[in-house]
Structure formats: C-alpha cells, structure tokens
C-alpha cells in the first residue's frame, strides 16, 4: 500500500496566503523566487532501479537553487495572519513543509531533498513569528511510468485523478511488481507536465508516500494530511490509500 497526497489548499487556498518575491528581487526577475530553469527536466539525473521494471524510470531532480532561487516569502491577506500554517500544504505549484515534516522525512529517506527558507509576512510586510521554520520543499525523486492502454475512473481509486495521472495509475493498479517497487520509495512524484507550465501547476503539489513515511508522520501528529475517512474525502482531508 502507498498513499496519494494532494493538499486541498493547493486549489482552494483557504489560508489566503500567496507567494511573493524576496526583498531586493522583483516580479520582473522571477529566478529568485520560482524555479525558472527552462530545461529543468532535462537536468534530471537517471538512477538505476533495484529491479528491472519495464516502462518505469527513476530520476533525481536538480536543486532549485541551481537556477538562482534564493528563498520565498508568503504574504497573508488582510486579517488572515491568525491562520496557522499546516506542516504540509501546497500553493501555486509549490509545496510548503515545516521543520517537523523535514525531520521525519530525513529520518526515513536516504535521498537528499531541498528545503528553501521561507519568510512569512502579514499584509504590511511585517514578519510573522512562527513556532518552527517553514520551507519551500523541492521533492527530488521523480518517476516516469509508461501509460497503460486504459485510464482509471474515480470509482476504482476513490479520488478524481488529475490530467496525466489516470493513465499511469491504471498500470499501477494492475501490475503487482510495480506496486511493490513504488511501495519502497518514501516519497516521489510523477513527471507529468514539463517546463514552466508543469512547475507552476497543481501536479507539482501532488505527492505519493509509502506506509513507512505516513506512519512516521502520523506518529508526531503532522498536520495537513488527514486520511480519507470515506471515498473522495470530506472537509480538508488530503491523503488517500492506493
């Protein structure tokens, strides 16, 4: 078993907080606050799989800081600064994680991911003090999985697949050796849309996690990733079993 995570905040933006450039940078020079490498996917480093699984390739992505990204500020809308930031959530193609999430992931994953510092500010650009650091998370384990000859429907998986997910997910459901392979990875993403369109889309807020990582996160009460208690979830729940 493994899990699919998609923060409801990635689409609903219920916190009403949005990313802005760091001081000293500008909207006209976005490299400081978004991963602006046009050839980002072409810099993926292939990794040999532990077992030969036809149609599956594993990669490690480059660091965002290689493209000049130096950090990020999250700015609250008026009167929303009292909202507490979850330990993991997504906004505008970016994943945001806390120090708590970072420590857990590093304890179970031998791949080095990237955690870029974040400053959280209010509407007047005054820094908001938080109980722990938060990071712009660059998850660096990516897979390509060849599409199947059919697509899954929502009744099979209990969630509504997003574009580019419904075809390879059918292969996952029907290929036991592939499922066993995926269950080994603590966290990963699928390469769907490429270029800036992909890196600023909802697909980059979509994560897959194995049982070991989910258990470790739940043990320390990481917020933002409640499991579905029924098909399609309720409220702000974000984690679905596959």
Rounded to an integer, what is the distance from CA 143 to the centroid of its chain? Answer: 14
Q: In the prediction, which pLDDT does 14 show?
A: 66
Q: In the prediction, which pLDDT does 31 show?
A: 47
- The β-bridge partners of 141 are 60
Q: In the prediction, which pLDDT does 28 show?
A: 47
Q: In the prediction, which pLDDT does 171 show?
A: 87
Q: Under a CB-based contact definition with an 8 Å cutoff, are residues 89 and 224 in contact? A: yes
Q: In the prediction, which pLDDT does 137 show?
A: 94
Low-confidence ranges of the chain (pLDDT < 70): 10-14, 24-39, 67-70, 81-82, 192-201, 229-237
Q: Where do the structural domains in the chain lie, given as residue ranges? A: 2-241
3-state secondary structure of 28: coil
Count of CB atoms within 10 A of residue 42's CB? 9
Closest C-alpha to 95, from 231, 209, 180: 209
Q: In the prediction, which pLDDT does 97 show?
A: 95
Q: In the prediction, which pLDDT does 16 show?
A: 75
Q: In the prediction, which pLDDT does 156 show?
A: 81
């Amino acid at each position: 078993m493994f899990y699919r995570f998609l923060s409801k905040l990635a689409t609903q933006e219920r916190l009403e907080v949005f990313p802005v450039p760091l001081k000293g940078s500008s909207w006209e020079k976005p490299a400081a606050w978004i991963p602006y490498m046009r050839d980002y996917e072409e810099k993926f480093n292939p990794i040999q799989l532990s077992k030969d699984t036809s149609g599956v390739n594993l990669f490690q992505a480059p660091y965002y800081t290689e493209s000049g990204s130096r950090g990020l500020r999250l700015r609250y809308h008026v009167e929303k600064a009292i909202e507490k930031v979850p330990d993991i959530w997504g906004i505008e193609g970016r994943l945001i994680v806390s120090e708590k999430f970072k420590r857990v992931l590093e304890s179970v994953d031998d791949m080095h991911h990237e955690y870029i510092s974040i400053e959280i500010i209010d509407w007047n650009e005054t820094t908001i003090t938080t109980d722990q650091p938060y990071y712009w998370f660059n998850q660096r384990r990516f897979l390509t999985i060849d599409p199947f000859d059919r697509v899954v429907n929502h009744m099979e998986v209990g969630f509504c697949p997003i574009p580019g997910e419904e075809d390879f997910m059918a292969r996952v459901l029907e290929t036991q050796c592939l499922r066993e392979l995926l269950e080994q990875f603590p966290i990963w993403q699928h390469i769907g849309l490429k270029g800036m369109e992909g890196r600023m889309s909802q697909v980059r807020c979509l994560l897959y996690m194995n049982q070991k990582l989910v258990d470790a996160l739940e043990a320390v009460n990481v917020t933002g990733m409640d499991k579905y208690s029924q098909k399609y979830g309720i409220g702000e729940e974000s984690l679905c079993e596959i």
